[in-house]
Structure 1
Amino acid sequence: MPLPDLHTLLPFLRWLPGTSRKTLGNDLLVGLTGAVLALPQSLAYALIAGLPAEYGLYAAIVPVIVACLWGSSWHLICGPTAAISIVLFTSVSPLAKAGSEQFIALVLLLTFLAGLFQWLLGLLRFGALVNFVSQSVVLGFTLGAALVIAIGQIPNLLRVEIASQATALASLLQIGRHLPEAHWPSLALAAFTLLLCVAIRHLWPKAPALLVGLVAGSALVWLLPERLVGGIALVSAFEGGLPPFTPLQFDLNSLLQLLPAAVACGMLGLVISLSIARALAVKSHQFLDANQEVRAQGLSNMLGPWFAGSLSAGSFTRSALNLQSGARTPLAGVFSALLVALFAVFGAALLAHVPLPVMAAGILLICWGLVDLAAIRALRRVSRAEFAVMLLTLLATLLLELQTAIYAGVLASLFFYLKRTSQPRVRLWQDGDDEVLRIEGSIFFGACHYIQQLLQRSRGQRLVIDARHINFIDYAGVEMLHQEARRLQALQRSLVLRQARPQVVEELLKLESAERCPVQFED
C-alpha cells in the first residue's frame, strides 16, 4: 500500500503557501468579526450542555483550529452548537450531575469517542453514510432541539432548581410543579434582554445583537439598586487562562455507556457540518472533498477534549458570516479561535458580571434562529412522507432521549425509502400478442414480491419486460425472474427481457448459462 503524500497528511500545505500580507490582513479582520459572534454563543452553548461557561470558550479554540487547518472547506467554521450541546447534556446528565467533575470528564470522553467514529468514517471513505440522515430528520431534530433547549432554560429564567430529567416532557412537568417558586426579577431581566435583542435585530440586522443584549443586561443589574435585582444569579467566575491539558479517563463501563450516544452525536455533527460545507461550496464555487472534511471533523473532536474542548460541529451563523465577510482562506477561522483564546486569558473576569437570566434570554434567541419555518412549509408541500418523518423526529425529541430521537428519525426515513423503492413505477400495455411491462427501478429483494404479483397477473402469450430503466438486480431478483420464466414455460408462454443493460444480463446468466437460462433476451 503506497504511503500517503505530505499534502494528504497536512492538507493546509495546499493553500498556506499562497497566502499574502493582503489576504492575512483581510482574514484577521474577518476573524475578529467571527470572534465577536463566537464569544456569547460559546458561553451560551456551554450552559446548554451543562458545562461551566469557560468550557464554551475552550471548545471554540483547539477544535476550531484543527478543523480549519485539516478540513476541505474554505469557509466552514466549527465549534460548539446548540443542537450538539443539548445532545451532550441529555446523553450525560443521567450519568452524572451537570457541571460536576465527573460530568465534565464524561462529556470529554463522549467527544473523543464521537471524533474517533467520525475519523474512522473518513479514513474508510464512508463519508456518504451521513446521507442516510435525511433533511427531514435534521429539520425535525433541529426544531425539537430548539424546544428542548428553550425548556431547559426556563429554570434559569425563573431561578428555580430542577433535577435533570431524561426527556423534555418530564422536564416541563417538573417546571410546572415549581412555578410558585419563580423569582420575578430574574424573569423581568430576561424579558428586557430578549426584547432588546429582538429590537436590535429588527432595526440593525448586522449588529451583534446577542453581544449587545448580554452587555446591556449585565449593565442593568450593575446599575440598579440591590433591592430591585437582589437574588439574581450570576455566571460562575473562573480563573482566566488557555485551555488546560485534560487527560481523558478511559473507564470501560463509561465507554460502553457512552458508545451509542457517541455514534449518534458523531453522525449528527457530520450531517450538520457537511450540509453547511456543501451549501457554502456552491456559493463560493469551491470543490469540497467530503471524506477529507469528515476526517478533519473527527480529528478536531479527537484532539479537542485533551484541551477541555467539548464536541464541535459546523456553525451555520459563523460560517455564513465568514463567507459574507470575504474570508480568503481558512486562516480566518484560525484567527477567530486565537482571538477567543486571548479573551479566555485576559477577559475571563468579565464573565462573573453576566447574570444567568441574561444568558438564558440569549439562548432563547438562538433557539428561535434554529427554527426554519420556510423549509418546514416547503417540505409539507413537496412530500407528505418526508413531512411525516419530520413530525415523528420532532415528537421523538420531546418524548425520548435525543440520541434515540436521531435513530428514530433515520429509521423512519429508511422505512419510507424502502416502501417507495419496493414498489417501482411500472407501465403496462398490449403490443399484439405481447404484454409489455416497463419497470422503472431496481429489482431487489424488497421489490420482488410486488413485481412477481404483476408478472403473475399477466395474460399475454409473451410477457416482455422493458428493462432499459432497470439499473440493478440482486440474487433475490434473479431467482424470482428464473422462477417466473419456468412457470410461464410450463404454460407454453415465455418471459423476455428487452433492452436489458449488460450488468443485468450478466447477473441473470450467473445462475445458469445462456443456453439453459429460462429468461430470453432481445434488443
Structure 2
Amino acid sequence: MKSSWLDWMRPYQKEHLQGDISAGLIVAVMLIPQGMAYAMLAGMPPVTGLYAAAIPILIYAMIGSSRQLAVGPVAVVSLLVFAGVSPLAEPGSGEYVTLAVLLMLMVGVIQLLMGVFRLGFITKFFSHAVISGFTSAAAIVIAFSQLKHVVGIPLESSQPAGAATEAVMQFSSWNWAAVGLSAAGIAMILAAKRFIPMMPGPLAAVLLGIGTVIWFNLDGGGVSIIGEVPGGLPALSLPSVTGEAALALLPTALTISFIGFMESFAMAKVIAAKEKQYVSADRELSGLGAANIGGSFFGGFPVTGGFSRSAVNYDAGAKTPLASVITAVLLLLTLQFFTGAFYYLPNAILASVIIVAVYKLIDWREAIALMKLRRADGAVWLITFAATLLIGVEQGIFIGIGASLAVFIWSSAYPHTAELGWLEESGAYRNVKRYPHAEEAEGIFMLRIDAPLYFANAAFVESKIEEGLKARPQTKQVILDFSGVNSIDAVAVHELESWERMLRDREMELKIVDMKGPVRDILRKAGWQENRLYLTMQDSYQTAHIY
C-alpha cells in the first residue's frame, strides 16, 4: 500500500495520535542538536541544520511512501557535502552556503527525475560490499574531522592520519577544557542510551555543555562556541544557479543522490517489513527529491532518511507521517523563539554528538563475514574502505564501484564450469570434482556451463573443452549441459557453430542439452534444427545408443 498525505490523513485513527505526538516530540528533541552538529560537519552555519531538518521532513511526509522514515541531515551526506563544496569555496562563507544550497537543489532534481522515470533499480548496481566499506571508512573520516573541536586547536589536515599526527605534535597546546567537554558529552550520550533509553542523550549533552560554559566562563578561556544563531523562520529564496557551478557540483550531486537514497530506502524497508507495509523505491526517490528541492528554497543542504532517527521515530510509537509533521512544527517553533539559547553551545559538544552518531557505522564484522563467504566481495570492501580513507570520500565510492564491476566482469568472463558424471545413488549428473565416484561414460566428455554465454566468456569455455579433450583422447561425443545458461548472444552462437565444425573435423559430435526456452529460441533463429537441441541428458544418451 502506497502512502501519501491523503492515504494517511483521511482514514486517520485516533488511537495513533498518542504515539505520533510522542514520536514527533522525541525526534524533534533529537534533531535539534544533531541538525546543528551535521551542519557544522557539512561546513555550514549551525542554524542551516535546523532549516534542513524542518522543511524537508514536512515535504517528505506529504509525498513519501514510508510512514515512519525521519528525513533530515545525516552524517555521511553532510561529509559528502563538505568534500564536494569545500574545494570550491571557504566553508561557512556566503559563497559556500550558496553552493551547498545549489547542491541540495541538484540532488533533489536528480532524485525526483529518477523517481518519475522509475529508475530506482539503478541503485541496485551499488553492491552491499561497496556501501558497507564506504560508510565504515566515512565514519572514521567524520570522527577525525571533529578532532580539532575535541582538542580545541586548529588542525590543517583533512585526512585522519594527518589530523591525528598534527594533534599529537601539538599536544602541549591542547585546550583541556574542550577535551573535558567532549569526553563528558560522549560519556553522557552513551550512558543515557544504555541506562535511560527514553532520555535524549544529545540534548542532555547540549544542556550540560551550555551550562558548563556559562558557569565557568569557558568561552573566555578559549573554548569555541557557536555564538549567535539567527532567529526566525527560514526565508524563502531562489537558489542561485550557474552552469559552471552546477557542472562542478554534478559528481557530488550524483553521489549524494545514490548514497542518500540507498541509506533511506534500506531503513524504510526494514520498518515496512515489521509493519507489513509497502514502500516503493520510485515513490521514495520522488519524496526525497521533493524534500531536497523544497529545502533548497529555504537555505538548507542535502538530506535523506536517517537510520538512527527513523529507528527512534518507530520505537517511540510513530504510526503515520503525522509524527514527522509534529517534528517539523516543533523545529519551526525552536527557530522562531529559542535559537538564542544555543549561543554558548560549545563546538566540542557538537563534536561529541557526531562522534557517537557515526561510530556504529564502522562495520568490521561485515568485512570479516564477506571475506569468509566470498573473498572477492571482501576484497571489494577493503578496496572501497582503503580508497575512501586514504584518497577521499568521493573518489572512494567510485573506486569501490569500479572494483565491484571489475569483480562482476571477471566472474562472468571466467565462469564456473563442471565436468559431469553419472551419480547412481542420486540418479543425476554431478560435478566429478565434487563427486569423484561419479561415473564418466567412455568416449563422452560432458561439460556444464554455469553462466550466460556471451562474447567475453566464449573463448574461456572453448579452452575448457580443449582441456577436456586433451585429457580424453578417445572422446567421440561432447555434450554441453546448458542448464545454467540463461542467455546467449550472437557472438556465442557463432562460437557454438565453430565448435561444432571443429569437432566434426575431428570426427566428434557436439550435443547441447537442458537448454532454457530463451536460449532455444535464439538457436532456432540461427538455423539450428530441433533434433539437435536435446531436452535432457538422457535424450542425448538414448540418441547416441550408449545407455
Query: Given the two structures, how large is their TM-score scaled by the length of structure 2?
Result: 0.88
Residue 95, structure 1, aligned to residue 88, structure 2: yes
What is the aligned partner in structure 1 of residue 493 from structure 2?
478
What is the aligned partner in structure 1 of residue 449 from structure 2?
439
How far apart, in 1, do the equivalents of 2:207 and 2:411 lie? Answer: 53
Question: 260, 265, 272: which one pairs with 2:251?
Answer: 260
The DSSP-based 3-state class of the residue aligned with 1:457 is helix
Please state how far the C-alpha of 1:185 moved relative to its aligned partner: 2.0
Residue 423, structure 1, aligned to residue 414, structure 2: yes
What is the aligned partner in structure 2 of residue 4 from structure 1?
none
What is the aligned partner in structure 1 of residue 182 from structure 2?
190
Residue 500, structure 1, aligned to residue 525, structure 2: no
Q: Which deviations, in whole Å up to 9, do the C-alpha atoms of 1:295-330 show, x marking residues without a partner?
A: 212222222111112111111111111222222212
Q: Which residue type is aligned with residue 448 of structure 1?
A: A
Contact conserved, 1:115 with 1:300, CA < 8 A, in 2? yes
Residue 520, structure 1, aligned to residue 535, structure 2: no
Q: Which residue type is aligned with residue 438 of structure 1?
A: R
Contact conserved, 2:210 with 2:342, CA < 8 A, in 1? no
Q: Which deviations, in whole Å up to 9, do the C-alpha atoms of 1:330-361 show, x marking residues without a partner?
A: 22122212211111111111111211112112
Residue 217, structure 1, aligned to residue 194, structure 2: no
The answer to which of 175-184 and 40-49 deviates more is: 175-184
Residue 469, structure 1, aligned to residue 518, structure 2: no
How far apart, in 2, do the equivalents of 1:227 and 1:467 lie? Answer: 75
What is the aligned partner in structure 2 of residue 317 from structure 1?
308
Question: 6, 16, 19: which one pairs with 2:9?
Answer: 16
Please state how far the C-alpha of 1:372 moved relative to its aligned partner: 3.3
Residue 234, structure 1, aligned to residue 225, structure 2: yes
Contact conserved, 1:53 with 1:236, CA < 8 A, in 2? no
How far apart, in 1, do the equivalents of 2:132 and 2:188 lie? Answer: 28
Question: Unaligned 5+ residue runs, structure 1?
Answer: 1-6
Residue 35, structure 1, aligned to residue 47, structure 2: no
How far apart, in 1, do the equivalents of 2:75 and 2:107 lie? Answer: 17
Question: 458, 461, 464: which one pairs with 1:451?
Answer: 461
CA-based RMSD: 2.3
Please state how far the C-alpha of 1:68 moved relative to its aligned partner: 2.5
How far apart, in 1, do the equivalents of 2:99 and 2:248 lie? Answer: 10
Relative distance call for 1:471 and 1:220 in structure 2 (3 A) is: same
Please state how far the C-alpha of 1:164 moved relative to its aligned partner: 6.8
Please state how far the C-alpha of 1:508 moved relative to its aligned partner: 2.4
Please state how far the C-alpha of 1:58 moved relative to its aligned partner: 0.6
Please state how far the C-alpha of 1:388 moved relative to its aligned partner: 1.9
Map residues 330-479 of structure 1 onto 2, 5 A cutoff: 330-429=321-420, 430-459=440-469, 460-479=475-494
Question: 126, 129, 143: which one pairs with 2:122?
Answer: 129
Please state how far the C-alpha of 1:184 moved relative to its aligned partner: 2.3
Structure with bigger gyration radius: 2
Tell me the percent identity.
29
How far apart, in 2, do the equivalents of 1:302 and 1:66 lie? Answer: 10
Moved segments of 4+, more than 6 Å: none
Contact conserved, 1:91 with 1:401, CA < 8 A, in 2? no
Question: 199, 212, 219: which one pairs with 1:207?
Answer: 199
The DSSP-based 3-state class of the residue aligned with 2:45 is coil
Question: Unaligned 5+ residue runs, structure 2?
Answer: 421-439, 470-474, 536-547
Residue 109, structure 1, aligned to residue 109, structure 2: no
How far apart, in 2, do the equivalents of 1:424 and 1:465 lie? Answer: 14
Q: Which residue type is aligned with residue 497 of structure 2?
A: H
Contact conserved, 1:45 with 1:56, CA < 8 A, in 2? yes
Please state how far the C-alpha of 1:59 moved relative to its aligned partner: 0.7
Query: Given the two structures, how large is their TM-score scaled by the length of structure 1?
Result: 0.92
Relative distance call for 1:227 and 1:18 in structure 2 (3 A) is: closer
Relative distance call for 1:218 and 1:409 in structure 2 (3 A) is: same
The answer to which of 188-197 and 121-130 deviates more is: 188-197
What is the aligned partner in structure 2 of residue 161 from structure 1?
154
The DSSP-based 3-state class of the residue aligned with 1:496 is strand
Q: Which residue type is aligned with residue 397 of structure 1?
A: T
How far apart, in 2, do the equivalents of 1:206 and 1:257 lie? Answer: 44
Q: Which residue type is aligned with residue 519 of structure 2?
A: V
How far apart, in 1, do the equivalents of 2:232 and 2:494 lie? Answer: 68
What is the aligned partner in structure 2 of residue 3 from structure 1?
none
Contact conserved, 1:185 with 1:229, CA < 8 A, in 2? no
Please state how far the C-alpha of 1:269 moved relative to its aligned partner: 0.7
Please state how far the C-alpha of 1:91 moved relative to its aligned partner: 0.9
The answer to which of 47-56 and 35-44 deviates more is: 35-44
Q: Which residue type is aligned with residue 215 of structure 1?
A: L
How far apart, in 2, do the equivalents of 1:160 and 1:242 lie? Answer: 33
Please state how far the C-alpha of 1:189 moved relative to its aligned partner: 2.1
Contact conserved, 2:137 with 2:362, CA < 8 A, in 1? no
Q: Which residue type is aligned with residue 111 of structure 1?
A: M
